[in-house]
């Protein structure tokens, strides 16, 4: 038999809880407040989401407008490992200027270089390097808008100011040009020539006089072509550099040498004896050679390409020596002080079979001191 419930007794156990809420109205207030806080938080989150969505829509609309707008300016801002130390100043150029740069550039590195006045742009082992210009070094003031391409079948330059030529045409030769007719060379307007006086083998380390030096020096002097000289160096240290200078001095003694005597430093195969030398070691070699040449009464000079000058030598220690730099651009970039520019290896000169290196010099080394610097005669 089912037992009857006792009066006022409810088998539903939730009733006592409801009774407690009725007996304690404060609990109703707390519950309602918590529910209200939850609702407000949800509403705030919705507003934030709506605001973010509106901002993204506005951003997409702006990007769409910019994509449809004509592009009238180009800014190049390459990245490099040196950027943290010094970020290059990148000017803004209009499209016509950029097109002009592209059409007048020999390759992409010359093209890139046109956008930087304070940074060298190099290709090295497939990598594009950006090397800051050192403002503490002596600078040149050449204006390359004055560079004139002559009307010839090959590249030949003059530097002119107000129609007056300020540079001198020259060549550099070695045994590779073989027999040269120096009378024809002189008649073709060549004022000076750098003759390879000697070289050191990059494998054996032996120092040798260039096989054609003596015949070239004798014939060039006779034809009235002023001559200087260069020695292809593979010196490992200052002692070997002096040895190279001594060989040059001995070979030069019987000739009228009015142009500088240069040490030739350039890239060599990986197996060369000088491969792996440090910047400091190369700098010591250059100084030792130049000092010995100066002691002998000649004008010392350093020949390198622009990358060699800036990356393999400490130019702050070489400011007193003249510079002969090689760069085969249509418009050179080398802000530091220099006297001779080698601008092509594919020149043509009467009296020489095949191609020959062409140079322009801003200095007449064969003249008296007051007449040497052509740039002083405005």
Is the whole-model pTM more than 0.85?
no
* Tokens of residue 82, six digits: 């040196």
Q: pLDDT over 70 for what percent of the chain?
A: 70
pLDDT of 20 above 90? no
* SS3 label, residue 363: strand
- d(C-alpha 23, C-alpha 44), whole Å: 35
Look over the chain and give the mean of its residue pLDDT values, rounded to a whole number: 82
- Torsion sign, CA atoms 370, 373, 377, 378: negative
Going by C-beta distance under 8 Å and a sequence separation of 6 or more, which residues neighbour residue 20? 27
Q: pLDDT over 90 for what percent of the chain?
A: 60
Mean pLDDT of 87-107: 66
Mean pLDDT of 334-360: 96
Higher pLDDT, 313 or 125: 313
How open is the CA angle 297-301-302, to the nearest 5 degrees?
150
pLDDT in tens, 35-72: 555 655 555 555 545 456 555 545 555 554 444 444 43
Are 225 and 193 in contact by the 8 Å Cβ rule? The answer is yes
Are 275 and 321 in contact by the 8 Å Cβ rule? The answer is no
Gyration radius of the chain's alpha carbons: 38
pLDDT in tens, 142-194: 999 999 999 888 889 999 999 899 999 999 999 999 999 999 999 999 999 99
Name, of 108-122, 234-248, 364-378, the range with top average pLDDT.
Answer: 234-248
pLDDT in tens, 103-141: 667 778 888 888 888 999 988 888 899 999 999 999 999
How open is the CA angle 302-307-312, to the nearest 5 degrees?
65
Kindly indicate the confidence band of residue 15, based on its pLDDT and cuts at 50, 70 and 90. Answer: very low
């Amino acid at each position: 038999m089912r037992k009857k419930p006792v009066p006022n007794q409810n088998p539903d156990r939730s009733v006592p809880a409801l009774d407690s809420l009725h007996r304690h109205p404060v609990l109703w207030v707390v519950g309602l407040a918590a529910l209200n806080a939850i609702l407000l938080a949800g509403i705030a989150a919705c507003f934030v989401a709506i605001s973010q969505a509106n901002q993204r829509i506005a951003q997409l609309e702006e990007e769409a407008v910019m994509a449809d707008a004509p592009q009238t300016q180009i800014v190049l801002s390459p990245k490099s490992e040196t950027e943290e130390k010094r970020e290059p100043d990148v000017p803004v150029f209009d499209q016509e200027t950029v097109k002009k740069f592209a059409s007048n550039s020999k390759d992409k590195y010359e093209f890139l270089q046109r956008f930087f006045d304070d940074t060298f742009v190099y290709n090295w082992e497939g990598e594009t390097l950006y090397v800051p210009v050192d403002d503490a070094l002596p600078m040149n003031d050449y204006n390359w808008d004055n560079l004139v391409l002559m009307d010839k079948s090959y590249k030949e330059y003059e530097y002119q100011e107000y129609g007056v030529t300020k540079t001198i045409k020259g060549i550099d030769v070695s045994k590779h040009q073989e027999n040269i007719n120096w009378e024809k060379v002189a008649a073709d307007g060549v004022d000076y020539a750098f003759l390879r006086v000697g070289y050191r083998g990059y494998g054996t380390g032996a120092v040798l006089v260039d096989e054609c030096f003596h015949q070239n020096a004798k014939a060039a002097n006779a034809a009235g072509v002023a001559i200087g000289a260069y020695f292809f160096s593979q010196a490992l240290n200052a002692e070997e550099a002096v040895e190279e200078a001594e060989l040059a001095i001995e070979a030069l003694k019987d000739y009228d040498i009015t142009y500088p005597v240069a040490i030739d430093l350039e890239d060599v195969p990986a197996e060369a004896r000088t491969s792996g030398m440090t910047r400091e070691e190369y700098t010591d070699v250059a100084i030792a050679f130049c000092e010995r040449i100066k002691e002998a009464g000649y004008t010392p000079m350093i020949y390198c390409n622009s990358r060699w000058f800036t990356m393999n030598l400490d130019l702050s220690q070489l400011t007193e020596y003249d510079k002969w730099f090689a760069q085969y651009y249509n418009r050179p970039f080398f802000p530091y002080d220099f006297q001779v520019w080698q601008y092509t290896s594919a020149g043509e000169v009467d009296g020489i079979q095949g191609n020959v290196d062409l140079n322009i010099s801003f200095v007449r080394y064969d003249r008296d001191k007051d007449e040497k610097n052509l740039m002083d005669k405005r």
